[in-house]
Amino acid sequence: MKVAALQMVSTPRREDNLATARGLLEQAAAQGVEMAVLPEYFGAMGARDTDKLALSEQPGEGVVQSFLAQAARELGLWIVGGTLPMASTAPGRVRNTVLAYAPDGACVARYDKIHLFRFDNGSERFDEGATIEPGDAPVQFRLRSRDGQAWCVGLSVCYDLRFPELYRQHARAGADLLLVPSAFTHTTGQAHWEVLLRARAIENQAYVLAPAQGGRHENGRRTWGHSMLVDPWGEVLAVRPEGAGVVAGLLDRERLRQVRLQLPALEHRVL
């Protein structure tokens, strides 16, 4: 199955970002991609953290959800929109939510980001917990590719990448592919992004597809980019350092089987 990570450099303007996302989805479809995954905050990277509150949507309705469902139907793609702000019961907060859509436009899975990023090195400061209410449960969904093969897909977002226990739960559920839509800062991404992605692939013997924000944003933030596809042996199959674009590659069921057969680490788990 051919999949793609869509890299963006989102602005504070939702309409502009959705137009960019649509263009990238069309490029992916033209390349024969069956599932395309958008990065964290693809709809908007606001000037302030609180800007996302005004863009929050209720389940089943809203500009971004309509956009994703329509694009999936018109392009015949599985589309994973990671992420958009969804309404929360906590005052002054939203959920940072991944939604997965089937080619018929139906929403088949929702995951709310569990781990919330906090970082302060003296010059950069982030605290997602100030505006985001965390989720509390891992989520997988299953699909059949055009050749009839079944794939189990585990969902995660950005900072989740630092918590291997989440991905181990995906592995226990049978995940073949782990998705990590992200907006890693340039500082943390340069230090840790690739090594963490490759580690999650290796230890769970699964493909990892990680679409990212990648560049200098209008709000002054710089994101690391390097959207990539990693195979179950930890080999980077495709990567894009910076700028908007499509990072496409093939998931090979036989490669997955060989890795798990020659080194059956998942069967050797004790804890």
Residues forming the active site = 40, 113, 158
Question: If you search the block for the tokens 């905050």, which residue do you land on?
Answer: 41
| Distance (Å, whole) CA 5 – CA 240 | 9
Q: Do residues 80 and 72 lie in contact, with contact meaning Cβ atoms separated by under 8 Å? A: no
Of the candidates 221, 234, 233, 209, the residue with the CA atom closest to the CA atom of residue 7: 209
Q: Do residues 99 and 61 lie in contact, with contact meaning Cβ atoms separated by under 8 Å? A: no
Q: Do residues 49 and 263 lie in contact, with contact meaning Cβ atoms separated by under 8 Å? A: no
Helical ranges in 173-221 per DSSP H: 186-204
Which contiguous run of DSSP H or E holds residue 70? helix 63-75
Q: Torsions phi, psi of 133, nearest 5?
A: -95, 125
Q: Is 97 exposed, middle or buried (0-12, 13-18, 19+ CB in 10 A)?
A: buried
| Distance (Å, whole) CA 103 – CA 231 | 25
| Distance (Å, whole) CA 217 – CA 252 | 35
